[in-house]
Amino acid sequence: MHAKTMSLACSLMACAIHALAMGHETADDFTLRGFGTLGLARSTADGAEFIRDLSQPHGIRGGRWSGRIDSILGLQANWHIDHDWEFVGQVVSRLHYDKSHNPELMWAFARWEPDPRLQIRMGRIGADFMMLADSRLVGYSFLPVRPPPDFFGPLFISHFTGLDVAVEAYLGQGLMRAKGFLGKTQEKVASASQVWDTSGSDLRGIVLDYQTGPWQLRGNFAEIRFSHDMEVGFLTTPLRIYGQMSGDSAALRAADSLAAKGKTTRYYALGAVYERNALRLQAMINFIRHETRIFQDSRAAFIQAGYRLGAMTPYVVLSRWKTFPAKDLQTLADPDLNAAYQAFIAYADVDRKTLSLGMRWDFHPQQALKVQWDWLRARPGSQFSFVHADPRWNGKTNILSLTYDFVF
């Protein structure tokens, strides 16, 4: 974590502790809340490490229990200075790109609400790329152990610095909410063998949300224009040298296709949530389109159902994540370079599906225990959505997870 960010995080923690010490004198204006997950999980596969999203540099494997992928601790402070203005800060400890769990400043924004139908936020804000994405670190808010990795796994951006504007209006029998956002990212993520700095990437998007009765429907669009390339000079350099010396323009186009700087990735998502009495249903689908050929375009979806029986809620989740190679890939005259280029492109291939069965026990109004079994099957050679995967791995694994989720 950068020193400046760490300082901000520490300042927020200090303010929170000070407010607690002051007690009821600040209770009307200042609130402190927290959330966390203490999780253990084990995978049956030795050939690859299972992760919950692409931001994690390592995962679980080989029948050994680990708390690294699911354990999270967060603290949030809200300060209402008057009827219209509120300041919000949130610090989270989770597994980072550098394998640390250092506190990270996730939110630090001012919210202005001059009218109940209008809200403007400015500062560091959660990235609302897909339905429920901005709360995916709060395990208590999700029925299963973790948001389905087949769906949320491609999301490695959690926050950005900028602003969003939301307006609300009644439409028919329900409430329509529209939000637009723009800003710049500040995060680094771990790829297969390196750290990729996405800081300064331009981001923007829109969200349309409609709530009526037990239904909530949402459509999301977001795009990122990356500010930095990934370190793929081991391939682009020989491609450019060969292209310039041989006159093979396909080699030059192949090298250009692996650039990330200045390239845009677009996210499209649709989701529906139905909650009535004891029944809870969710269904979502997303499409991700990349201009850089480092990644492949993808489609993902999941269906989730749960039914509450007193304090117990059994649930089932079906999910799928599949990528599609670009149709305009270059074919090079040099067989060795062509093989290297095609193999690099193929590494981003994902084709996997998961069946999850679980039980949630809400033994306290703010605490829950969960147990979950995942039956995951990926196409052999589909390594991109895992970490440290052996090319010979058959793509099969089962995951057993236990978590304790809480809010306070």
pLDDT in tens, 249-284: 999 999 999 999 999 999 999 999 999 999 999 999
pLDDT in tens, 28-39: 589 999 999 999
Q: How far apart are CA 134 and CA 383, in angstroms?
A: 27
What is the pLDDT averaged over residues 391-406? Answer: 95
pTM of this structure: 0.89
- The sign of the dihedral angle between the CA atoms of 378, 384, 389, 393 is positive
Q: How far apart are CA 394 and CA 139, in angstroms?
A: 30
What is the pLDDT averaged over residues 238-248? Answer: 94
Does 288 have pLDDT greater than 50?
yes
Our measurement of the distance from residue 408's CA atom to the centroid of its chain's CA atoms, rounded to an integer in Å, reads: 23
pLDDT in tens, 355-370: 999 999 999 999 999 9
The percentage of the chain sitting over the pLDDT mark of 70, rounded to a whole number, equals: 92
Tally of residues, the chain: 408
Closest-CA residue to 43 (of 357, 317, 397) = 397
Mean pLDDT of the chain: 90
- Residues with Cβ within 8 Å of residue 79, at least 6 apart in sequence: 29, 30, 86, 87, 88
In the prediction, which pLDDT does 134 show? 79
Does 6 have pLDDT greater than 90?
no
How would residue 168 be classed by pLDDT, with cut points 50, 70 and 90? Answer: very high
What is the pLDDT averaged over residues 344-358? Answer: 95
Q: How far apart are CA 7 and CA 229, in angstroms?
A: 28
In the prediction, which pLDDT does 26 show? 45
Does 93 have pLDDT greater than 80?
yes
Vertex 290: Cα angle to 289 and 295 (nearest 5):
115
Does 5 have pLDDT greater than 50?
no
How would residue 329 be classed by pLDDT, with cut points 50, 70 and 90? Answer: confident
In the prediction, which pLDDT does 274 show? 98
In the prediction, which pLDDT does 94 show? 94
Domains detected in the chain? 3-407 (2.40.160.10)
pLDDT in tens, 189-241: 876 567 899 999 999 999 999 999 999 999 999 999 999 999 999 999 999 99
